[in-house]
Homo-oligomer: A and B are copies of this chain.
Amino acid sequence: MRHLFKRTFIPILLSGLAALPSLAQQQPSLLGFGTDAAKKQLDLEATFDKQLQANNLRDWMKRMTAFPHQLGSPYGLNNALFLRDKLASWGFDARLDTVHVLFPTPKVRILELTEPTKFKASLTEKPLKEDATSAQTKDVLPPYHAFSANGDVTAELVFVNYGVPDDYEELAKLGVDVKGKIVIAKYGGSWRGIKPKVAYEHGAIGCIIYSDPKEDGYFQGDVYPKGAFKNESGVQRGSVVDLPLAPGDPLTNGFVADATHKRLSVEEAPAMMKIPVLPISYGDALPLLKALGGQIAPATWRGALPITYHVGPGPAKVHLKLEFNFDIVPCYNVIATLKGSEFPDQWVIRGNHHDAWVFGAADPVSGAVAELEEARALGELVKTGWKPKRTIVYCWWDGEEPGLLGSTEWVEKYQSILKEKAVVYLNSDGNGRGYLSAGGSHTLEKFINQVGRDVIDPEKGTSVIDRLRSRTILNGSPTAKQEARTRTDLRIGALGSGSDYTPFIQHLGIASLNVGYGGEDAGGDYHSIFDSYDHYTRFKDGDFAYGVALAKTLGRSVLRFANADVLPFDFSNFANTVQLYTSEVKKELEAARAKAEDHNKSLAEGRYEAASDPKDPFVKPMPLSVAPYLNFAPLDNALVALENSAKAFASASSKFSALPADKLKELNEILYKTERKLIHADGLPRRPWYRHQIYAPGFYTGYGVKTLPMIREAIEQRNWKEAEEGILRVSGVLEGFVGEVERASGVGR
């Protein structure tokens, strides 16, 4: 369920990259290692790098993508066993860790236009002779949305753009209501699960999601097989479980089913979608959209189909019938361990999922085989006698696609152990050709910048971090450009959801990173039958050079965490980041106030009515609640304390190398548990599973992160009371965090 490539970094200039040859000559510093240890570590990493072979990635991708391998499929188990056996052969303690989860698959899928003309949607992807696996039918899941409700509905159609809350505000202005209607939304603008959720909230009884060629088809480039992009039969499958409420099996949110913890029924599961939802191709969508009447869709809603986009409702009427098998299936996580020689109870965890929607060459196999090559190279190091100081846990998750099922259940199952032992979680998912993309805990921002400095871009010979800096200097926003020239570290994005880091960081507060390459490899294969070996090798990382770069990036990350004397956390960038988020939410509040004042003034003056076109329906807008001034003082004070503690830690750190072993152990335990302090036991309002108070997936964006979520979402929802509570909540967790950073600075003093 890798989310499409986004630049999550914003970049620097160390003032004159021309001066960089020095880097090659002088020994770079290494966070967490003294000078001698750093040299030894870098030699080890160089040895590790030398083990990595692109051909392994190619062979394993071909093998793993030969047949459909979704959750619950025979080939999914086959792949899991293949992974386990490989890992065992390389010296890992490898096993399947199996949980059982709900996995709905389709029995009946019917979509037809009944008025004003008849049309029956094909709902199938056409095999291509240029794509070797596309003609397979055995075990192939047809296009559908996992966790859709059963349903048999007939109603007028309404086009709702992306189907996010703003779009319904726009519809209200047009006087269009979706109550009792079936909506058709296009992919994009949010995670897909938001669309039926918001449609349901507005009274719709069914939801169709299609890929418009504007975002995902011929508008972007030549279509498959001539080019990489989505052709008229391609469909994006996917989950529509209410992920921003909680990932994992929706029958067991927050726990794993056992004798005392019973599954909910499908009907009572809050994260189940409440209406039928179906994804379709633009080939199938065209006749439906063409049959719509009513007003012209707002200009920004219109896609690239050769029609005038109307919103309806009707005269197009559609019949949507969906039935699912709601089966409980085994979910095979593959877990492989190298025990730590000094700190066996400190776990460095690395993961990528192995299940796909169909063949899944890009998503997830491109990342899974890079991870496998990392593990093989570690095995080679072990053969030479090397042992990690800390325990290394390599994971390949099953059931990620339907809703992070494997990883979430595993995290919930072992949560008490993980709270104690998990040092860091390093995730990857689909990988491609291009630029480094990294997101995660900002206590790791400096760390991943250092790793990126030490990995060479396979196309350009410069470091991957410098290539990203170049890109940001050229293509970034004005602020990003400016920072890319002046800030020491490139900024990393924050994590919302969309891959298996979610339960680690969001539920337990385990510092996490998500890393991949991309940006030179766009395509329309995502979650379609055409995400195949043939497509991947023609249009993505065909020589697997960036698969190897990913293995280097995360392999070196694992090695540094496994061996560091002092765990490579840094608090100054984190403090700077939270300051930035705070200024953002303050600006959002000011903007909300200004908007409401301006709107209410215009309303009182009759501006809307005066400016409206009498030939269009006029719906008088409602006044907006004007934001009060909120007390940000607790947060501002916490930020000062945070910055001071980060500075104190930085100056204390020069003396850490002199600490005796027991003090170092105490220090490291404090350090990797600092992220736990960003968790609040109550979770976020109305979604207690999400506990992190700095990062969360947006309630109405899905994957997309909302930072300082309680404050920011309350402002967006104009819930001023909750925003003020959010300020206190965040201030509280930051104070707890500061306490730990201060404690770390004081170790051995």
Q: Does A16 contact B (CB under 8 A)?
A: yes
Give the distance in Å from the alpha carbon of A475 to the alpha carbon of B602 in the complex.
11
Q: Does A35 contact B (CB under 8 A)?
A: no
Select A602's contact among B223, B474, B605, B606, beta carbons within 8 Å. B474
Contact status A16-B218, CB under 8 Å: no
**How distant is A51 from chain B, measured CB to nearest CB, in Å?**
26
Of the candidates A306, A307, A459, A615, the one having the most CB atoms from chain B within 10 angstroms of its own CB is A306
Q: Does A24 contact B (CB under 8 A)?
A: no
Closest Cβ neighbor of A482 among chain B residues: B598
Give the distance in Å from the alpha carbon of A240 to the alpha carbon of B474 in the complex.
37
Question: Which residues of the partner chain B approach A467 to less than 8 Å between Cβ atoms?
Answer: 610-611
Give the distance in Å from the alpha carbon of A305 to the alpha carbon of B219 in the complex.
9
Question: Which residues of the partner chain B approach A17 to less than 8 Å between Cβ atoms?
Answer: 605-606
Select A307's contact among B218, B308, B598, beta carbons within 8 Å. B218
Q: Does A304 contact B (CB under 8 A)?
A: yes
Contact status A608-B218, CB under 8 Å: no
Contact status B614-A459, CB under 8 Å: yes
Q: Does A225 contact B (CB under 8 A)?
A: no
Q: Does A222 contact B (CB under 8 A)?
A: yes
**How distant is A695 from chain B, measured CB to nearest CB, in Å?**
28
Question: Which residues of the partner chain B approach A473 to less than 8 Å between Cβ atoms?
Answer: 602, 607, 611
Contact status A302-B219, CB under 8 Å: yes
Question: Which residues of the partner chain B approach A466 to less than 8 Å between Cβ atoms?
Answer: 610
Q: A302-B219, A434-B613, A614-B459 are in contact. Are A308 and B227 (CB under 8 A)?
A: yes
Q: Does A129 contact B (CB under 8 A)?
A: no
Contact status B605-A218, CB under 8 Å: no
Contact status B460-A610, CB under 8 Å: yes
Give the distance in Å from the alpha carbon of A689 to the alpha carbon of B385 in the complex.
87
**How distant is A464 from chain B, measured CB to nearest CB, in Å?**
11
Q: Does A315 contact B (CB under 8 A)?
A: no
Give the distance in Å from the alpha carbon of A374 to the alpha carbon of B608 in the complex.
32
Q: Does A604 contact B (CB under 8 A)?
A: yes
Question: Which residues of the partner chain B approach A18 to less than 8 Å between Cβ atoms?
Answer: 604-605
Closest Cβ neighbor of A17 among chain B residues: B605
Q: Does A716 contact B (CB under 8 A)?
A: no
Q: Does A213 contact B (CB under 8 A)?
A: yes
Contact status A308-B219, CB under 8 Å: yes
**How distant is A740 from chain B, measured CB to nearest CB, in Å?**
39
Q: Does A170 contact B (CB under 8 A)?
A: no
Q: A16-B605, A17-B606, A605-B17 are in contact. Are A475 and B611 (CB under 8 A)?
A: yes
Give the distance in Å from the alpha carbon of A70 to the alpha carbon of B470 in the complex.
57
**How distant is A97 from chain B, measured CB to nearest CB, in Å?**
40
Contact status A222-B610, CB under 8 Å: no
Instruction: List 6 additional A-B contacts (Cβ < 8 Å) besides A302-B304, A460-B609, A470-B605.
Output: A18-B605, A223-B308, A470-B607, A481-B598, A520-B613, A520-B615
Scoring A residues 587 to 620 as 1 if CB is less than 8 Å from chain B, else 0, what string do you get?
0000000000010001011111111011100000
Contact status B610-A462, CB under 8 Å: yes
Contact status B610-A470, CB under 8 Å: yes
Q: Does A221 contact B (CB under 8 A)?
A: yes
Q: Does A296 contact B (CB under 8 A)?
A: yes
Query: What are 17 A-to-B residue pairs whose CB atoms are below 8 Å?
Result: A16-B605, A17-B606, A213-B306, A218-B306, A218-B307, A219-B308, A220-B308, A221-B296, A222-B296, A304-B304, A467-B610, A470-B611, A471-B610, A471-B611, A473-B602, A473-B611, A481-B598
